[in-house]
Amino acid sequence: MLIPCPHCGLRPSEEFVPKGLAEAPRPALGGRAKPDGPAWQNYLHLRDNVADHNHEYFHHALGCRSWIVVHRHTLTHEVTGATMAADFWKADKPATTGTQDAKSPAAETAEDGQ
Note whether 32 binds other proteins by CB under 8 A. no
User: Closer to other proteins at the Cβ: 45 or 65?
Assistant: 45
Q: Give the nearer residue to other proteins in terms of CB position, either 13 or 99.
A: 13
Toward other proteins, which CB reaches closer, 17 or 108?
A: 17
Sign of CA dihedral 76, 77, 81, 86: positive
Three-state SS string across 57-93, please? EEECCCCCCCEEEEEEECCCCCEEEEEEHHHHCCCCC
* Angstrom distance (rounded) from CA 12 to CA 23: 24
Would you say 48 or 112 has its CB closer to other proteins? Answer: 48
Out of 49, 93, 95, 109, point to the residue binding other proteins (CB under 8 A): 49
Residue of 33, 45, 92, 113 that binds other proteins (CB under 8 A): 45
Q: Is 13 in the site for other proteins (CB under 8 A)?
A: yes
CB of 109 to other proteins, least distance (A): 23
Q: Quick check: 7 and 16 in contact, CB under 8 A?
A: no
Residues 82, 45 contacting (CB under 8 angstroms):
no
